[in-house]
Amino acid sequence: MSSAAARTGILAAAIAALALSAGAQTPPAADGWRPFKATWTLSGTRQLLPTEGARSAAILHLTGPLAVTSGEGLGRGFLGELIGFDDGAALIVGRAVLADEKGDRIYCFLRTEPVGTGRKATGTITGGTGRYAGLEGTFEFAWQYVVDTEPGEIGGRIANIEGRTRLVPPPRPEAPR
C-alpha cells in the first residue's frame, strides 16, 4: 500500500471515528436540558443525638467518588462531599459539593428520607464554579446500601442517580443610558 493510500485510509478512519463519537453524544433539548446518570460511593461519620421520638437526630459528613456513567455536559469523575442533618422526625436536608479534577465545583441542595438502604432523595443543583458556573439542575436517587461500619462511621453506595442539568447564561449587562 502506498503512503498516500495509507494516509487516506487513516484520514477516513479518523473521520468515521469522529462521526461515531459525535453521534453518541446527546445534544441538549431545545430548552438546554441534558440528562445524566451517575453512581456515588460515600463513607464518613454520623453523630447521633437522642430525641424524644423513636429515632435519634443525626449529623452526617460523607465523602467519596461520584462517577457520571452517561450524559454530556458534565465531567466524568468528581470527588463529592456531603453534610446532612436529620432532626429525628421529618426534616432531613443536606448540602453537597462535587469537585472535578481541575477543582471546578458543583453545589447541590439535598432533601431525603431517613438515610438507609432503599431510601429515596432528591437534589437541586444550585450553581458552580469554573466550567460549571451558571449550572442548574435536579436529580433523584435511592441508596443501594448503607452500612454502619463502626460506631460513628457510615458508608454507602448510590447506584442510580438520574437527573438533568443545563447552563444558564449570565445576565446581560444593562445598556448605559
Angle at 89 between CA 80 and CA 152, to 5 degrees: 50
**pLDDT of res. 60:** 93
Fold of the domain spanning 32-167: AOC barrel-like (2.40.350)
Contact 56, 88 (CB under 8 A): yes
Mean pLDDT of the chain: 82
For 146-174, write each residue's pLDDT tens digit. Answer: 898 888 999 999 999 999 999 997 677 77
Cβ-based burial of 149 (10 A; exposed 0-12, middle 13-18, buried ≥19): exposed
Contact 66, 37 (CB under 8 A): no
Number of Cβ within 10 Å of residue 30's Cβ equals 6
For 59-78, write each residue's pLDDT tens digit. Answer: 999 999 999 999 988 889 99
Record the cell numbers describing residue 11, joined without a space.
Answer: 484520514
The answer to whether residue 177 scores a pLDDT higher than 60 is: yes
Domain ranges (residues) in the chain: 32-167
